[in-house]
Structures are given as C-alpha cells and as structure tokens.
C-alpha cells in the first residue's frame, strides 16, 4: 500500500474518532438509579437500672423507645424496623461484694431464634463487671426486624447497672405503627423517649437519660 493511501486511511480514522468523541460529549446521560428513600438512624442510647433486674426485651420494646405522640394517650413509633448492633453493660457494687451482669440473644420463637450465646462478667474489688455482647452475623437479632412480641435479648444485673444499646433503625414509607403502651398527658406531635422496657419514665426500672423528653 502506498504512503498516500496509508495517510488517507489514517486521516479518515482520526476524523471518525473526532466525530464520535464530539457526539458523546453532546449526549444527555441517563439519570443514575436510586437505592431507596428509607429514613435510617443509628444510635447508642444509655440506661441506668434503678433496681436489680432479669429482663427480657422484645422488638416491640426496642421500637417503642422513640415515639411521636398522636394524642394525649396515644403515640406512634418513629421507626418501624430495628437491628441490634450490640449491648454493653457495666455493673458496680460495694467494695468487696462481687456483682455480675449478663446478656443473651435468646429468642426462642419459630423464625426468631437468637444465637443463644451467654455473655457474662463479674466485678472484683473496685473493678466493675463489664461485657460487650454482639449478635452473631446474620443471626435473627443481627438483621432488621419488624415489631413483634418476640424476645430480642435478655439482660440481668443489679441496681446501678449501666446499659448501652447500639441500635440501627429504619422508617418504612407510608407506615403508621401504634405504640404498645398508652401515654399519659402527652402533647400531640412531640417526640418522646420511653424506658428500655417501653414503660413510662415514671414506672420503668430503666429510665432514659434525663436530658431527653420522656413520657
């Protein structure tokens, strides 16, 4: 092939590439796909037990922790699904008197089983009892769950035990879910916190922090 023909072919290829490049720059790109519009919230919330306890906590309880009053005696949960990322507990007793704390993801209903592992620790001297319990990956408590009366976990300790819950919440579009326990003298539209057992701050053994609006 002559040099002239080679040059013509090369020049033609360059012109075609230039036209294609110009065309691509002028194209309107397709809008990116969207995942979802769920409102999500992750929180670490703290409770201090006012009395000795051996308490089963349900998924209803966890979802009733944060609510919006719809009237003086009724409310709706702010979120509709919950996932447990972990539990951390500190148990303190008088010097020389050991105290223990424990936690177990022990749901036993069909389709709601926890991993069943028992987490516990005991204080010695001035050293508090301390544990961190996390559900096994992809076990029932490790996944987002809807409201139900199924046991999420059981905790046990003495008065003064500090309990931290690490939770993730999801709000489902268009769903309204009533709280399990009635409210007392609530102001409609106000966001409130309840005790770890979903009881009012005046009756629970696990009151939420004092700086939160409680009912």
Residue 150 resides in a domain: yes
pLDDT at 5: 53
Residue 206 resides in a domain: no
CA distance 11 to 182: 81
Query: Which residue matches tokens 């194209």?
Result: 27
pLDDT at 116: 74
Closest alpha carbon to 164 in 64, 82, 63, 91: 91
Overall domain count for the chain: 1
DSSP state at residue 7: H
Residue 92 has which token pair? 């303190």
pLDDT digits (tens, 9 = 90+) for 145-165: 999 999 999 999 999 999 999
Residue 125 resides in a domain: yes
What's the order of all strands across the beta sheet hosting 75-77?
Answer: 75-77, 66-69, 191-193
Range(s) of the domain holding residue 174: 39-193
What is the overall mean pLDDT for the chain? 86
DSSP E strands in the chain: the ranges are 39-48, 53-58, 66-69, 75-77, 81-91, 100-104, 118-122, 129-133, 145-146, 151-157, 162-171, 191-193
How many other β-carbons are positioned within 10 Å of the β-carbon of residue 114? 22
Give average pLDDT by consecutive 10-residue segment, the chain, 215 residues: 53 54 68 83 96 95 96 95 97 86 81 76 92 91 91 95 97 87 92 94 90 86
pLDDT at 110: 57
What's the pTM? 0.81
pLDDT digits (tens, 9 = 90+) for 18-34: 555 555 667 778 888 88
pLDDT digits (tens, 9 = 90+) for 48-64: 999 999 999 999 999 99
Residue 114 resides in a domain: yes
pLDDT at 27: 77
Residue 117 resides in a domain: yes
pLDDT at 33: 83
154: CATH: 2.60.120.220
Residue 7 resides in a domain: no
Residue 4 resides in a domain: no
Q: How far does Cα 203 stand from its chain's mean position? A: 24
Residue 49 resides in a domain: yes
In sequence order, the 6+-apart residues with CB closer than 8 A to the CB of 21 are none
Q: Which residues pair with 34 in a beta bridge?
A: none
């Amino acid at each position: 092939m002559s040099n002239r023909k080679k040059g013509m072919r090369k020049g033609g290829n360059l012109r075609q590439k230039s036209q294609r490049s110009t065309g691509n720059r002028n194209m309107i790109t397709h809008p990116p796909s969207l995942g979802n519009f769920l409102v999500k919230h992750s929180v670490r919330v703290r409770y201090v037990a006012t009395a000795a306890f051996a308490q089963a906590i349900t998924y209803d309880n966890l979802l009733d922790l944060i609510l919006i009053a719809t009237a003086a005696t009724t409310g709706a949960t702010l979120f509709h699904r919950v996932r447990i990322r972990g539990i951390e507990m500190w148990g303190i007793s008088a010097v020389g008197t050991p105290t223990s704390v424990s936690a177990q993801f022990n749901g036993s209903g069909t389709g709601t089983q926890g991993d069943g592992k028992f987490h516990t620790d005991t204080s010695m001297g001035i050293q508090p009892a301390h544990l961190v319990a996390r559900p096994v990956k992809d076990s029932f408590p490790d996944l987002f769950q809807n409201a139900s009366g199924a046991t999420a976990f059981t905790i046990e300790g003495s008065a003064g035990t500090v309990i931290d819950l690490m939770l993730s919440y999801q709000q489902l579009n268009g769903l309204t879910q009533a709280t399990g326990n009635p409210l007392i003298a609530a102001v409609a539209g106000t966001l409130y916190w309840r005790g770890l057992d979903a009881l009012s701050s005046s009756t629970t053994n696990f009151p939420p922090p004092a700086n939160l609006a409680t009912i």
